[in-house]
Structure 1
Amino acid sequence: MTAPQRPSPGARRRETDERAAAAADRAAVLRALHRPGDPLVLPNVWDAASARAVEAAGFPAVATSSAAVAEVLGHSDGEATPVEEMLDAIARIVRAVSTPVTADLERGYGMAPAELVERLFATGAVGCNLEDSVPGTGTLVDAGRQTDFIAEIRDAAREAGVDVVLNARIDTFIHGTGTPAERLAEAIRRARLYVAAGADCVFPIFVTEPDAIRELVQQAGGPVNILFVPATPPLAELAALGVARVSFGAGTHRAVQAHLAGMLTRIASGADPYSRLEER
């Protein structure tokens, strides 16, 4: 039997260039969807099935939730998931949809910037979230150190030929200290630093007060992502405030799990688990 021919170095190079060009196009599409006042809405996903559901519902991009993916894989959030498992899950999600995918990578799972970029692109994702607190401890990372990290990732992505869409999470509202006004001021300071370092969007997680959101939008120096939680203003109000991106984080997965728990309770009691579905 004749051994299969291996692609020549030139053919492999052409294939690599074609993949990089396709990824660059998807990154450009994802970046263009960040429009202040007309936000990109991202109901975060955790597996291929949820990603397909989001795409089928008409959303133009897909975002993963590290917490939801971790739970599905049997781990806790806070970078407790082995990086190989997290990246494999992201790759399965990318393969399941045709829309651009942005991945929640917490603080990078200990990867150096060049490795992070290489392994992210290997999954097919063209965007990522990176947070500025230490997973598992909640300790805020020094702003200068995080700024350097973002700049190094931006440089590595450009060197790789795919300008990854960087969403820089800011954790001052959950892990910072001081008064609400002081936390807001620190969030604005970090936002400006991160945008200057190359972040495409900043993500001050758990800010819900409309005046604070307005101040961030006006002062951040770039597009602002807001996490939608029960205390968050409605989507239309977020758009009016100038928000460019709205995420749901692990909230979508928790809602699905709550629905499942309700079905299981009805099954265990002998009730029809589908009756409430039919009433909706």
Structure 2
Amino acid sequence: MMDQEAKFDIFKSLHNRTEAFIMPNPWNAGSARLLASMGFEAMATTSAGYAFSIGKRDSFAGLSRDELIANATEVVRACDIPVSADLEDGFGDQPEICAETVCIASEIGLVGGSIEDATGNPDEPIFEFDLAVARIRAAAEAASGLPFLLTARAENYLWGRPNLKDTISRLQAFSEAGADVLYAPGLPDIEAIRTVCSEVDKPVNVVMGLKGQSYTVEELSEAGVSRISVGGSFARAAYGALKRAAEEVRDKGTFTYASAAIPDAVLAGLMSQEQYSGRK
């Protein structure tokens, strides 16, 4: 098993490639084991995917830090590759809480994490500029000296504020505050992505699998993207397969969905082989 420093070094180096690397988003330990077996070099947790799996909503401050840290701990333990985490808004408005969250994340073996400027409050969805920057600065100071790559997220486009100028200004300020990677989910098109990449001085993460246009790894790399994630879209794809299978059984009384399922033996072989020792 690689130690945390080795994982951090690998994760950091992935951002320096000429072609963007893909960082898929498992939502629990089982999905992490499957993705790791497929050769992905790093992964990141998804708060959305995890929220769906426990019957909660994402992005409404509905998940506690303890819940997400416990889930991330299971993902880290499930695979021997670098894992970053979706740390939502840092789990508190104040900068010192964001700093505390980064320290906790590092302690469980995560080598990176993202903090966003979304508040979880639909009436005031984005943190005021100066506070948003102060939060990232505190998180970056906490990460300094740790094997931890901080990603700063500007959430305008996910919350009905399609302001590219303000988004870029926020990303630039986050970079100056010490963020290692910059991320503006929901950018409308490849030109906006290219503009963001050209206006900032740190690696840029782009998410695919959301609504709207889709681009290839080659197209995103050409635009200047360093890292591609999929957010909760893999989890939603899994739920889509579940829904289609259930509809077939309910409406047709047939079970042909099983032909596309991963065989039990294959999945069992990817999972932990440890046995519970507490049986009487």
Shift in Å at residue 147 of structure 1? 1.5
Q: How does 1:183-194 map to 2 (within 5 A)?
A: 183-194=163-174
Pairing 1:44-123 to 2, within 5 Å after superposition: 44-78=25-59, 79-110=61-92, 112-123=97-108
CA distance in 1, matches of 2:99, 2:192: 35
Greater CA deviation, 25-34 or 219-228? 25-34
* Stretches of 4+ aligned residues off by more than 6 angstroms: none
**Structure 1, unaligned stretches of length 5 or more?**
1-20
How many residues get paired? 252
Q: Tell me the distance in 2 between the aligned counterparts of 1:184 and 1:101.
A: 29
Q: Which residue of 2 aligns with 1:31?
A: 12
Worse overlay, 94-103 or 219-228:
219-228
For 1:91 and 1:33, locate their aligned partners in 2 and report how far apart those are by CA, in whole Å.
22
1:232-243 aligned within 5 A: 232-243=214-225
Alignment equivalent of 1:252, drawn from 234, 249, 260: 234
Matched-pair contact (CA < 8 Å) for 1:132–1:141: yes
Taking a change above 3 Å as real, the CA distance of residues 275 and 100 of structure 1, as seen in their structure-2 partners, is: closer
User: In the alignment, is the contact (CA less than 8 A) between 1:105 and 1:128 conserved in 2?
Assistant: yes
- Distance (Å, rounded) in 1 between the aligned partners of 2:69 and 2:43: 15
1:205 paired residue number? 185
After superposition, the CA RMSD in angstroms is 2.0
Query: 2:23, 2:43 within 8 Å by CA — same for their partners in 1?
Result: yes
Unaligned runs of 5+ in 2: 262-280
Once the two structures are aligned, what percentage of the paired residues are identical?
29
- Deviation at 1:260? 0.9
Cα distance in 2 for partners of 1:173, 1:246 equals 17
What is the distance in 2 between the residues matched to 1:239 and 1:187? 21
Give, in angstroms, the shift of residue 276 of structure 1. 5.6
State the alpha-carbon separation in 2 of the partners of residues 165 and 189 from structure 1.
21
Q: When the two structures are superposed, what TM-score results if normalisation uses the length of structure 1?
A: 0.83
Answer yes or no: is 1:225 the counterpart of 2:205.
yes
Q: CA deviation at 1:176?
A: 5.5
Distance in 1, matches of 2:187 and 2:245, equals 33
Residue type of the partner of 2:114?
A: N
Instruction: Work out whether 1:274 is the aligned partner of 2:257.
Output: yes
Match of 2:245 among 257, 263, 267: 263
One-letter amino acid of the counterpart of residue 139, structure 1:
P
Distance 1:125 1:207, change over 3 A: same
Stretch of structure 1 that moved more, 142-151 or 35-44: 35-44
Bigger Rg over Cα = 1
**AA matched with 1:239:** S
- Taking the aligned partners of 2:216 and 2:17, their CA distance within structure 1 comes to 15
Asked if the contact 1:27–1:162 (Cα under 8 Å) also holds between the matched residues in 2, the reply is: no
